[in-house]
């Protein structure tokens, strides 16, 4: 393998990939970074078994000035290699691998020789046919991820709940996450009709992916194999391992009727809950009580912390219909849910004081549902 390239462009790609490389791992080769050079591009790969990232620099990229002399591949110790590249003099450097896996790096007057490992030893990431792709907008995908991972669990005791359940069926993508106390479900329409998938993706991977996705509405591609999920964007491929097991059936948990409905402005309501939670946090007793009286058109929130104090606030709302209700819940869950809606009006539907209640945006009710379980007070 032989090529030369502009350092800055290389480092940019390198940094992206290095995020996934762990310094301690059971599989020695994963402490290395894989460089693959084809006739069209240079690909950098890093992985920690759960997440793998391939970042490419194409020949036609003017910023990079990639000159391909000979194709090939090798694996170099990641930390050491990246330090070298960062400290090289000059704007460009060239790299050359020899038969014995030794790699030479030249820049200006300095010559580095690094011992590499054959790229054959590196894990083979799955390749999925193009026909099996799912396209959607980057910012939409980002939003979906951010709106669901908040509800995922981070306890190791039930590993399945640490993932987000993605199902693709009849042209629709459904993403569900729950930690058993609250649940978040998001549905978006897709432009394909014949692909079916049912996978669980670790929330940690999705959070990383969301960080890397661009903010624009450019299209990204999702491909799913039997054991990995891939996301293509911006000359990068993001791989995530899937979780094995059966995700609990959450569809039946979402109530489809409602006895009481409260419509509020998300931000205003959030502010009120925030105030109420001030008290509950003080006293280690993290519960607030909501009292709804549609007859008198009154909605109140009450927080109490023994020895600290209380808060009582009458709430503003857009509409309140149905039966009277008193219900208690953890304000932090409510806050997380409200945050995820952004600036909009939200409908909160209750059935009974001991059953979970839902939050949905006033328009597009079926696409985004947050579910929270209440607390039973004695």
Partner 1 sequence: MGKKDIIARQPRLTAYFADLIQHKKLVHAYLLTGPAGSGKHELALWVAAGLFCQHPVKGQPCGKCGECQRIFSGNHPDVIDLLPAGNSIKVEQTRFLKSEFNSSGVESRQKIIIIENAEKMTASAANSLLKFIEEPSGQITVFLLVASLNQLLPTIVSRCQLFKMQLPSEEQRIQTYQQEGLNTLLAGLTVDIQTARQLADEKTVLELSKRLTQWFLKILNNEWLALVDVQVKFMPLITNKDEQNLFIQLLELFSKDLLRCAIGTKMVYFQDQALQFKQRLTKYSLTKQLTAVELLLNQPRLQQENINFQNLLEALTLQLIKCYHG
Partner 2 sequence: MTKIKELPAILADQIAAGEVVERPASVVKELVENAIDAQSTQIDIYVADSGLSLIKVIDNGQGIAADELELAFRRHSTSKLHDKNGLFKIRTLGFRGEALPSIASVADVTLKTAMTDGQGMEIEIRGGQQLDKKIIARPQGTEVMVRSLFYNTPARLKYLKSPQTELAVISDIVDRLALGHPEIALSLHNNKRVLLQTAGNNNLQQTISAIYGVKNAQQMLPVHANDLDFAVEGFVSLPKLTRATKNYITLLLNGRYIRNYQLTNAVIKGYGSKLMVGRYPMAIIALKLDPVLVDVNVHPTKQEVRISKEKQLCELIQTTIYQRLATENLIPDALADFKAGSTSLNFADLDAKLNETSQQYRYQDQAPVVTKQSLKSQQSAEKKAAKTPIIATEADKTIIIEKRQDLTDKLKNWDQKYQNSQVLEDPQATVNSKLKTITTGPAKKRFPDLRYLVQIHDTYLLAEAEDGFYLVDQHAAQERCKYEYFRVAMGKVAKDQQALLVPLVLDYSTSDALIIQKNIAKLAEVGVQLEEFGQNSFIIHQHPTWFEDGKEETMIREMIDCLLRDGKISIAAFREQTAINMSCRLSIKAHHHLDDRQAQALLSQLAECENPFNCPHGRPVLVHFSQTAVEKMFKRIQDPHQSQRNQL
Does the footprint of partner 1 cover residue 28 (CB under 8 A)?
A: yes
- The site partner of 284 among partner 2, partner 1, none (C-beta below 5 to 8 Å per kind) is partner 2
Give the Cα separation of 82 and 44 in Å (integer): 12
By C-beta, is 106 or 253 nearer to partner 2? 253
Closest to 275 (Cα-Cα) out of 315, 238, 239, 247: 315
Query: Which positions from 120 through 139 interact with partner 1, judged by CB under 8 A?
Result: 120-126
Sign of CA dihedral 306, 309, 314, 319: negative
Asked if 26 is part of the footprint of partner 1 (rule: CB under 8 A), the reply reads: yes
Greatest distance between any 2 Cα atoms in the chain: 84
Binding mask 240-279 for partner 2 (x = CB under 8 A): --------x-x--x--------------------------
Identify residues 201-230 at the interface with partner 1 (CB under 8 A).
202, 226-228
State the nearest-atom distance from the C-beta of 238 to partner 2, in Å. 27
Of 57-65, 93-101, 113-121, 148-156, the segment contacting partner 2 by CB under 8 A is: 148-156
Query: Is residue 309 within the footprint of partner 2 (CB under 8 A)?
Result: yes
**Cα separations in angstroms, 155 against 76, 180, 224, 253:** 35, 11, 26, 21
Measured CA to CA, the distance from residue 308 to residue 280 in angstroms comes to 9
Sketch the per residue contact string, 43 through 72, with partner 1: x for CB under 8 A, - otherwise. Answer: ----x-xx-x--------------------
User: How many Cα atoms within 13 Å fall on the side-chain side of residue 181?
Assistant: 16
Contact between 32 and 75 (Cβ < 8 Å) = yes
Angle at the Cα of 38 from the Cα atoms of 35 and 40, rounded to 5 degrees: 120
- Taking alpha carbons only, the member of 320, 304, 323, 312 closest to residue 377 is 304
Q: Which is nearer to partner 1, 204 or 300 (CB)?
A: 204
Supply the minimum distance, in Å, between the C-beta of residue 245 and partner 2: 13
* Three-state DSSP state, 302: strand
Which distant-in-sequence residues (6+ apart) come within 8 Å of 33 by Cβ? 14, 17, 18, 21, 44, 45, 46, 75, 76, 77, 78, 81, 82
By a kind-dependent CB cut-off of 5 to 8 A, residue 180 interacts, out of partner 1, partner 2, none, with: partner 2
Of the residues 29, 140, 190, 375, which one makes contact with partner 1 according to CB under 8 A: 29
Edge to edge, the sheet with strand 219-224 lists 72-77, 32-37, 41-47, 51-58, 236-241, 228-233, 219-224, 134-137
Per CB under 8 A, the list member of 287, 288, 325, 348 interacting with partner 2 is 287
Tell me if 310 contacts partner 2 by CB under 8 A: yes
Q: Does 178 bind partner 2 (CB under 8 A)?
A: yes
Choose from partner 1, partner 2, none: what does 310 bind? Cβ within 5-8 Å by kind.
Answer: partner 2
Among 189, 321, 354, 364, binds partner 2 (CB under 8 A): 354
CB 323 within 8 A of CB 338: no
Dihedral class, residue 273 (left if φ above 0, else alpha if ψ from -120 to 50, else beta): alpha
Residues near partner 2, by CB under 8 A: 153-155, 157-158, 161, 178, 180-183, 248, 250, 253, 284-287, 306-307, 309-310, 328, 330, 354, 356, 371, 373-378
Residues near partner 1, by CB under 8 A: 26-30, 47, 49-50, 52, 120-126, 156, 159-160, 202, 226-228, 241-246
């Amino acid at each position: 393998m032989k090529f030369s390239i502009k350092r800055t462009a290389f480092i940019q790609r390198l940094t992206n990939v290095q995020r996934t490389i762990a310094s301690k791992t059971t599989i020695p080769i994963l402490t290395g970074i894989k460089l693959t050079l084809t006739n069209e591009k240079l690909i950098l790969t890093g992985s920690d078994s759960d997440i793998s990232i391939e970042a490419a620099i194409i020949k036609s990229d003017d910023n990079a000035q990639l000159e391909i002399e000979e194709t090939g591949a090798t694996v170099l110790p990641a930390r050491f290699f990246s330090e070298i590249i960062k400290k090289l003099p000059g704007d460009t450097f060239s790299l050359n691998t020899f038969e014995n896996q030794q790699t030479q790096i030249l820049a200006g007057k300095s010559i580095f020789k690094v011992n590499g490992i054959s790229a054959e030893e590196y894990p083979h990431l799955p390749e999925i046919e193009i026909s099996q792709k799912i396209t959607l907008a980057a910012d939409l995908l980002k939003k979906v991820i951010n709106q669901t991972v908040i509800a995922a669990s981070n306890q190791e005791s039930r590993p399945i709940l640490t993932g987000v359940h993605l199902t693709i069926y009849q042209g629709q993508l459904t993403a569900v996450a729950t930690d058993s106390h609250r649940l978040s479900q998001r549905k978006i329409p897709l432009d394909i009709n014949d692909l079916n998938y049912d996978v669980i993706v670790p929330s940690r991977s999705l959070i990383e992916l969301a960080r890397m996705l661009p903010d624009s509405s450019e299209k990204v591609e999702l491909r799913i194999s039997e054991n990995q999920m891939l996301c293509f964007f911006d000359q990068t491929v993001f791989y995530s391992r899937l979780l094995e097991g059966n995700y609990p059936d959450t569809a039946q948990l979402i109530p489809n009727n409602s006895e009481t409905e409260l419509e509020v402005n998300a931000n205003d309501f959030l502010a009120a809950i925030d105030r109420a939670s001030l008290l509950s946090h003080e006293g280690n007793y993290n519960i607030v009580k909501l009292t709804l009286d549609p007859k008198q058109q009154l909605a109140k929130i009450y927080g109490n912390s023994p020895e600290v104090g209380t808060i009582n606030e009458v709430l503003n709302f857009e509409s309140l219909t149905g039966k009277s209700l008193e219900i208690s819940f953890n304000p932090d869950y409510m806050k997380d849910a409200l945050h995820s809606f952004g600036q909009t009006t939200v409908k909160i539907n209750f059935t009974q004081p001991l059953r979970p209640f839902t939050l949905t945006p006033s328009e597009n009710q079926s696409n985004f549902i947050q579910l929270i379980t209440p607390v039973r007070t004695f």
